[in-house]
Amino acid sequence: MTSTPLARRLLPVLLLCGCNCGEERLAGAHGRLLADPSNIDFGAVTLGDQAVRHVVLTNAGTSPVAIVRVESAPGAFGFAQPPETIAAGASAEFAVVFAPEAEGAVQNTLTLRTDGDPDALDLPLAGAGVKVEPVCGVDLRVPAALAGADQTVEPLAMVRLDGSGSHTNPPGGTLKYDWRFVSRPAGSGATLNGAVARPTFVADAAGVFTVGLAVVDPNGCRSAESTVNVNVVPRGAVHLQLTWTVKHADVDLHYREPGGSWFDEIRQTDLFYSNFEENPDWGPGGRPDGNRRNDPTLDLDDLGESNLMENINHDAPFDGTFRVGVNYYCAHRNRSDQGPAVATLRIFLNHATTPAHEFTRQLTQRDMWEVADIVVSGPQITWREINSVQKTRNELGGCDDRTN
Ligand SMILES: [Ca+2]
Ligand SMILES: [Ca+2]
């Protein structure tokens, strides 16, 4: 055992000396030292911090008591030197400190050797060192996510997002990226690789995509979410968006010229998968006019294997009544299963990003759903509901003459 006075600890400890050195000891009298508290449990103390407790030493004997020395094992506990002598009936205070240097529970005992009776007073000590993880936003600064500037694109455009302005705090660290769609237009099946600084996605539906970005720094601190809006604005004065629900169901969007007929591959008065790559030339009175601006375009033919979506744009339609149709062409992967698919047709007019109207109908194979008319009169473009279904008789309206 070695005595370890608290030289290395800086303690604001006031030592109250109860010394009465001139007192004369009477025959048979003795000092008797008591401690309050008689043991100390410091509890959990964070590494790097220290805890101090004050112990009141009282001489309950009938003559002064001298504290000859204090003994303790070396370690995390220390103490301020107690007074040398305490008069009979007097008290003094001394400080004990716990400054853990490692995680875990520790114990020790201070022993005060006296000239009294008994001549030793044990003071058991206990405590535990604990490590406290730094808290993001309190001990550590969180990184900053910057999702980039808002964008305006056309339907089916490839959108490139840029979160490279995001940074750690302080700047310079490596970030992990976490993008997500906060909201998407109805009918969108777009997907996003969210783990890179500059992800891309296909703006597969008109409307507003709100995309959020959070970043995580090497400490694991996550930023607040930054958002960016991608406004998907139809190019055409008429924009038709068809979506459906069942994979492998090949549903087709049709758009018929005034006076035209469905599945017309000769005069091409019906725009659909069969002729969309040729871009039929329509004009007033059913006559091709060489003007491409007043012709509709079908952006793609989805065979039921992609986003289950087809779009038609009609940039500058001439006057007349154009009919919108939807044909459940084929259940490609399982022809014996002619199960229903729910189709939704959204009509966007005059570049609006919210549909003027939305129709939904359950279809089975060979159904031709005549959905609505688009009525164009000068600058006025309106829609009119038809919403009727017949089975197709035309051989192009069936499954058999089309390969997967
Ligand atoms: Ca199709
Ligand atoms: Ca034309």
Q: Measured between alpha carbons, how far is 117 from 334 in angstroms, rounded to an integer?
A: 101
pLDDT band at 235 (very low <50, low <70, confident <90, very high): confident
Q: Which ligand places an atom closest to the C-alpha of 402? A: 1
Q: What is the pLDDT of residue 368?
A: 95
The model's pLDDT over 162-198, given as tens digits with 9 standing for 90+, comes to 999 999 999 999 999 999 999 999 889 899 988 999 9
Residue 15's pLDDT is what? 33
Banded pLDDT at 237 (limits 50, 70, 90) = very high
CA of 180 to the centre of ligand 1 (A): 29
Of the two residues 21 and 165, the one the predictor is more confident about is: 165
Strand partners, 210: 183, 229
CA of 308 to the centre of ligand 1 (A): 8
**Tens digits of per-residue pLDDT, 51-104?**
999 999 999 999 999 999 999 888 899 999 999 999 999 999 999 999 999 999
Every domain of the chain and the residues it spans: 33-130, 151-232, 238-397
The answer to whether domain 33-130 and domain 238-397 are alike in fold is no
Task: Report d(CA 344, CA 341) in Å as an integer.
Answer: 10
Task: List, as ranges, residues with CB under 5 A of the ion ligand 2.
Answer: 281-283, 289, 291, 294-295
CATH 2.60.60 fits 238-397, yes or no: yes
CATH class of the domain defined by 151-232: mainly beta
- pTM, rounded to two decimals: 0.65
Tokens representing 388 are 């009727």
Each residue of 158-167: pLDDT tens digit? 999 999 999 9
Query: Residue 22 pLDDT > 50, yes or no?
Result: no
**Burial (CB count <10 Å: 0-12, 13-18, 19+), residue 290:** exposed
> What fold does the segment set 33-130 form as a domain?
Immunoglobulin-like (2.60.40)
Q: Is the pLDDT of residue 375 over 90?
A: yes
The ligand placed nearest to the CA atom of residue 279 is 2
339 pLDDT tier (thresholds 50, 70, 90): confident
User: If you measure from the C-alpha of residue 280 to the centroid of ligand 2, how many angstroms do you get, rounded to a whole number?
Assistant: 8
User: Rounded distance, CA 305 to CA 317, Å?
Assistant: 31
Ligand with an atom nearest the CA of residue 248: 1
- Asked if omega into 118 is within 30° of 0 (cis), the reply is yes
| Farthest CA pair distance, the chain | 137
Ramachandran region, residue 314 (left: φ > 0; alpha: ψ -120 to 50; beta: rest):
beta
Q: 297 C-alpha vs ligand 1 centroid, how far in Å?
A: 14
Q: What is the DSSP letter of 235?
A: S
Nearest to 271 by CA among 219, 191, 326: 326
- Could you tell me the distance, in angstroms and rounded to a whole number, from the CA of residue 379 to the centre of ligand 2? 17
Q: Which residue type occupies 402?
A: R
* DSSP one-letter code for 293: T
Cα 242 to averaged position of ligand 1 atoms, centre (Å): 10
Residue partners of 380: CB distance under 8 A and separation at least 6: none
Q: Flag the least confident range among 12-16, 17-21, 171-175, 276-280.
A: 12-16
Question: What's the pLDDT score for residue 399?
Answer: 64
In this structure, what are the phi and psi dihedrals at residue 277, rounded to the nearest 5 degrees? Answer: -75, -15
Residues 383/375, Cβ–Cβ less than 8 Å: yes
Ordered DSSP codes for 1-15: -B--BSSSS------
- Please, which pLDDT band fits residue 13 given cuts at 50, 70 and 90? very low
